[in-house]
Amino acid sequence: MTLPDPLQDQHRYIPNASEDVREMLGVIGVDSIDRLFETIPGDVKLDRMLDIPGPWSEIESRRWFRELAARNKTAADHLSFLGGGAYAHYQPACVDQLLLRAEFLTSYTPYQPEVSQGTLQSIFEYQTHQCMLTGLDVANASLYDGSTALCEAVLLADRVVKNRTKVIIARSMHPQYTATVRTYVQNLGYEIVEVGWTKEGRIDLQALKRACTPDVFAVAIQSPNFLGVLEDYDAIGAVTNGAVKIAVIAEATSLGIVSPPGKHGFEICVGEGQAWGVPTQFGGPYVGFMVVKEALKRHMPGRLVGQTVDVDGRRAFVLTLATREQHIRRGKATSNICTNEALIALAANMYLSLMGKEGLREVAWQSMQKAAYLRDRLLASGKVTLPFSGAVYNEFVIRTSFPAAEILADLEHEQILGGIPLAQFYAGHENDFLVAVTELHTREHLDRYVGVLSAAIARERR
């Protein structure tokens, strides 16, 4: 069968036209492009065109994709209180504009430092911000996201603490993070032990102490945890019995106000940087971060940028300590991460720089105050209870006497995305849902939420 000659139909992304092709074939010394594919055996060649839509013009693509996007009910046209590891914070206009600069957007991993100083210096700055925010010493250039960053942290701890087989993960860890760890380590012979929470919503310290036997190599907790409650790092550190302490931060803006894990003896802090002004975009791309104590630096997975000088003595930046990485170490690498989330780390660097010392605190302060206002108003309404009494940052669990799914459906009717039902993660929590507040919410939004929720509950009671 003869296939249509695609060279007859010039494509806007492919410059060479038939005249170029003819000249180039002449230089190569063959009479057709097909001759260049002769090493692909006939019996594996496709004897037809792919059966897929296109080619589309920009006009057709805009129409189709926008129509699809319009089918979503999102924060674009609803009042949203969704969190659970992905938060809608203020996005400064200049961040996205700067990200679109081709020199950042369309460059590769900075393996050639002489022509990649922009990317390298930005990563060095990003690493510095991470250290300042977490109170730890050495940060890497980024990991995929919060969940895989936790996986890498667990694997790092295993490399450092030899001959132990158990890792403790708080039950109040983001359940999808814990699930990802289970996938990653399924063939490595670890035992994962979960430790539950108290009525404050904090990790059960008595249970944690009992679980911290000499065969435990790491303890991983999240703060604020998946219930929104802040953990007591010092109290946890007092019972971990020599295991590596891993703190997970799924709401990165909390670091603007909450005491950082590095200050309380945690050796590793990993987390999700999405809250630093990255759109929630259905879960990705985000940016995982990892910051560790100095002593762990050579066990760090992923890329690291270091400072050095060029032959003229000028300060310059370069990927360093690469002997840990898979392109050098191959089967003995500390991690298999190669492509990371550099552009999102750049966005985070821009956001952190723009907000700066004051802005990071103010975003956190406002988010916390507004969440507290909503909590207070809800309690005052008498329509809901708050099952966990521990201090929170900007997120908390609401309990009503009715199934969360029904209440949230009522809110959706009023154009409110009112929360995340907990039952999908924790059995026995059918009436509970998780609510997040940020600096983007106004008092009017919060009052409206209380009003609509109260009305929904009143309707259910009838």
Partner 1 sequence: MTTVVEQESATAAVPQGANREGLIFEHSKKGRRGYRLPALDVPERSDLLSPSLMRDEIANEVEVSEVDVIRHFTRLSKLNVSIDAGLYPLGSCTMKHNPRLNEELARTPGFALSHPLQADHQVQGNLELLWHIEQTLKEIFGMPRVTLQPVAGAHGELTGILMIHKALAKSGNARKFILIPDSAHGTNPASAAFAGYEVKELKSNSRGTLDLHLLEQHVDEDVAALMITVPNTLGVFETEIRKMAEILHRKGAYLYCDGANLNAFVGIARPGDMGIDLIHSNLHKTFSTPHGGGGPGAGPVGVSERLVPFLPTPTVERRDDGSFYLDDDHPDSIGRMRAFNGNFNVLVRALTYMRSMGPDGLRRIAQIAVLNANYIRARLKGTYHLPYDAPSLHEVVFSDKNQTPHEVHTLDIAKRLMDYGFHPPTIYFPLIVAGALMIEPTESEPKEELDAFCDAMLAIARECEERPELVRSAPHTTPVRRLDEARAARQPVLRWQPRSD
Q: Which of residues 1-20 bind partner 1 (CB under 8 A)?
A: 3-4, 6-7, 9, 11, 13-16, 20
Count of residues in the chain: 462
Q: Which residue, 244 or 342, is less far from partner 1 as judged by CB?
A: 342
Question: Using an 8 Å Cβ cutoff, are 279 and 291 in contact?
Answer: no
Residue 107 beta carbon to partner 1: minimum distance, rounded to whole angstroms: 4
Among residue numbers 10 through 69, which ones bind partner 1 (CB under 8 A)? Answer: 11, 13-16, 20-21, 23-25, 27-29, 33, 36-41, 43-46, 49-56, 58, 60-62, 64-66, 68-69
Please, which residues have CB within 8 angstroms of residue 245's CB and are 6 or more apart in sequence?
A: 218, 219, 221, 236, 237, 261, 265, 266, 267, 268
Question: Using an 8 Å Cβ cutoff, are 73 and 417 in contact?
Answer: yes
Query: Which range of residues in 198-206, 229-237, 395-403, 450-458 is near partner 1 by CB under 8 A?
Result: 229-237
Beta bridge partners of 315: 309
Among residue numbers 199 through 228, which ones bind partner 1 (CB under 8 A)? Answer: none
Identify the helix (H) or strand (E) that includes residue 105. helix 102-105
Query: Which range of residues in 204-212, 239-247, 328-336, 453-461 is near partner 1 by CB under 8 A?
Result: 328-336
- Rounded Cα gap, residues 425 and 337, in angstroms: 28
Report long-range pairs for 100-109 (Cβ below 8 Å, ≥24 apart). Answer: 104/343, 104/346, 105/343, 109/303, 109/339, 109/342
Residue 341 beta carbon to partner 1: minimum distance, rounded to whole angstroms: 5
Query: Which range of residues in 140-148, 156-164, 195-203, 448-456 is near partner 1 by CB under 8 A?
Result: 140-148
Query: Which range of residues in 164-172, 200-208, 249-257, 448-456 is near partner 1 by CB under 8 A?
Result: 249-257
Radius of gyration of the chain (CA): 26
Residue 250 beta carbon to partner 1: minimum distance, rounded to whole angstroms: 9
Q: Which residue, 2 or 114, is less far from partner 1 as judged by CB?
A: 114
Q: Any contact of residue 372 with partner 1 (CB under 8 A)? A: yes
Please, which residues have CB within 8 angstroms of residue 246's CB and are 6 or more apart in sequence?
A: 150, 153, 154, 157, 218, 219, 220, 221, 266, 267, 268, 269, 270
Among 306, 381, 401, 415, binds partner 1 (CB under 8 A): 306
User: Which candidate, 413, 384, 389, places its Cα nearest to that of 401?
Assistant: 384
Among 225, 240, 366, 431, binds partner 1 (CB under 8 A): 366
Among residue numbers 263 through 302, which ones bind partner 1 (CB under 8 A)? Answer: 263, 279-285, 297
Query: Which range of residues in 159-167, 200-208, 251-259, 379-387 is near partner 1 by CB under 8 A?
Result: 251-259
Among residue numbers 165 through 194, which ones bind partner 1 (CB under 8 A)? Answer: 174, 176-177, 179-180, 182-184, 186-188
Question: Using an 8 Å Cβ cutoff, are 123 and 348 in contact?
Answer: no
Can you tell me which residue has the tokens 């060095």? Answer: 124
